[in-house]
Structure 1
Amino acid sequence: MFNRILVAIDGSIMSEKALKSAFNFVKERYSKISVIHVEKNIEITEGMPKATIDRIYSEQSKESEDLLHQATALAENEGIEIEVQLVMGEPAIQIVKKAEERNYQLIVMGSRGLGNIKGLMLGSVSQKVTQLSHCPVLIIK
C-alpha cells in the first residue's frame, strides 16, 4: 500500500523513534524510504558580525550532516537502503512540499521535535504537516 515513505527527522528522541518505526514498516512491506531533515532559516540581526554568521551556518550544517549520517548508519545496521535529503526553510512546509514533489505515499514523523514550546498534544510541525499533507501522515509517540 505505501511503497514510497518519507521520514522527517530533527534529532529529537521522537524523530529517532519515527525512523526506527519506519524501518520496521519497510522490512515488512519492501517499501522505499527517504529521510528528510529541514534546516530552519537563521535569523540574522542587523549589525551581526560576518564571522558570527559564518560560525552559525557552519555549526548548523555540521549538525545536519551528522544527523543524516546517523540516520544512514542506523539504516545500514538494519540492512535498509535509504535516500537522505537536506533542505532549508520552514520545516512543515518543506516536508509537505517534498512529499508532493516526489510523490511519497506516507509521511512518518515524531509527535514532538526539538522546538522550544511543546504543544498540548502534537508539536507544531507535526500538526501543520497533518493539516497540509496530500498523503497520510503517521505520527509516532
Structure 2
Amino acid sequence: MSAPVVVGVDGSASSLSAVELAAREARLRGRGLKVVHAFIWPMMHVPQGTSALGPSSLGPPGGGLRNIMGRMVAEAVQRARSVEPDVEVTNAVVTGEPLMVLEAQSRNAALIVVGSRGLGGFVGLLLGSTAVHLAAHSHCPVLVAREQSVPGGRILLGVDGSPAGDAAVDFAFEEASLRGSSLVALHAWTTWNAPLPAPQDDAEPYANQSGELACAEERLVSETLAGHRERYPGVTVEHRVTRGRTREALIEESRAARMLVVGARGRGGFVGLLLGSVSQAMLHHAHCPVAVVRGPTEPR
C-alpha cells in the first residue's frame, strides 16, 4: 500500500485549512489521506470522559475530552471528504505529544501537512512551535498551510545551489507537474552569501572582473536545474537571479504563488542547525503554503 498523505489536526481553524490542503495533495498524488490527532491529556492524567466510574468532572455526560476529540476528528474527516470525495480518508487518535506523534507518522508518509497555528499557540506568536519543529525533524516533506494559495499561481522554488537543496528541487518539479503549473526558480544573492569565483590571476586572488559574481550565480541556478527539465518536459520553468536578500525576495514573490518550496538548510547554514534561517522566515511570513524539504543526509 502506498504511503498516505498525513495531516495533523487539533480543532483549530488553521488545522482545518490544513485538512483541505492535504486532501487536495492526496488527490493529486493518488494516495489516501490520514487524519491524525495527538491526544496528550492521558499523559497528564486528566479525566477523559464518561466511563463505568461515571461522567467526567470536566463536563456533562458525553462531553468528556475523549468524546470531544472524537467529534473534532470526525469534523476534520468530513471536511476532507467534502473537498475531495474520491480520496480515501482514515483517521487515528494517538496518545502522545504532538511533535513526537507527527514525527513518528512522517516515517511512513509521502507528505505531512499541518496548520501554521494551533490551539496551543500564544497570542501574537506567528507560527505554532509544532510546525517549526516538525519541519526540522520530519522524515518526509512538510507542507504548512499559511494563507490561501493563488488559484492558477505558479510553484515558487527557492534555489540556493546547495547539495541539501536537491530534494527541494525534485519536490518542486513534481508539484508543478502534478498541478500542471509553471515553476519559478528564484535565487537571490548578495556579496555576503555568494562564494567568490576562482581568481583569474594568482597574483591578485581577490580581483574579479565586473559582473563575474553575477554570472557565477546564474550558472549556479542553471546547474541546479540541469536534468530536471528533461525529466519534466511538461513543466515550464522560469529562473530568476536577483541581487538582494533571499528572505525578502521569496516573501514578495510568494504573494503570487500557489506554493513555495524551500530546503530545510541552505549553503549558508551553520553546522548542526536543523532548520535554516530562510526556511524559518518563510514559515513565518510567506503569503502561500510553504513546503520544507529535507535532504536525505541532513541531521534530525
- Whether these two folds match at TM > 0.5 is yes
- What corresponds to 1:9 in structure 2? 9
- Find out whether 1:108 has 2:113 as its counterpart: yes
Instruction: Determine what percentage of the aligned residue pairs are the same residue.
Output: 29
Q: CA deviation at 1:56?
A: 4.3
The letter for the 2-side match of 1:55 is: S
| Corresponding residue number in structure 1 for 2:103 | 96
Residue 35 (structure 1) aligned with residue 42 (structure 2):
no
Q: Say whether the 8 Å CA contact 1:39–1:60 is kept in structure 2.
A: no
Asked if 2 retains the 8 angstrom alpha-carbon contact of 1:38 and 1:90, the reply is: yes
Q: CA deviation at 1:29?
A: 2.7
Confirm whether residue 123 of structure 1 aligns to residue 133 of structure 2. no
Moved over 4 A (4+): 51-54
Output the CA distance in 2 between the equivalents of 1:116 and 1:32: 29
Aligned to 1:20: 20
CA distance in 2, matches of 1:88, 1:82: 20
| Of 119, 131, 137, the match for 2:142 | 137
Q: Is the Cα–Cα contact under 8 Å of residues 8 and 36 in structure 1 kept in the other structure?
A: yes
Give, as a single letter, the amino acid of the residue that structure 1 aligns with 2:78. Answer: A
SS in structure 2 at match of 1:55: coil
Higher radius of gyration, 1 or 2 = 2
Corresponding pairs, count: 133
For 1:20, the aligned partner's letter is E
User: Contact 1:44–1:53 at 8 Å: present in 2 too?
Assistant: no
2:136 counterpart letter in structure 1: Q
RCO (CA 8 Å, sep 6+): is it higher in 1 or 2?
1
Relative to 1, partners in 2 of residues 1:106 and 1:118: Cα closer, same or farther, differing over 3 Å? farther
Cα offsets for 1:100-136 (capped at 9, x unmatched): 2xx1121100011001525744211111111111111
1:12 partner letter = S
Distance 1:97 1:118, change over 3 A: farther
- Alignment root-mean-square deviation, CA: 2.6
Asked if 1 retains the 8 angstrom alpha-carbon contact of 2:4 and 2:26, the reply is: no
State the distance in 2 between where 1:81 and 1:96 align.
22
Unaligned runs of 5+ in 1: 46-50
Asked if the contact 1:75–1:82 (Cα under 8 Å) also holds between the matched residues in 2, the reply is yes
Which digits, 9 at most, give the CA deviation of each residue in 1:52-78, with x for residues without a partner? 994349621011100111122223333
- Match among 72, 76, 80 for residue 81 of structure 2: 76
Q: TM-score, normalised by structure 1?
A: 0.80
TM-score by length of 2: 0.40
Shift of 1:44: 4.7
Question: Using the alignment, how far apart are the partners of 1:9 and 1:90 within structure 2?
Answer: 13
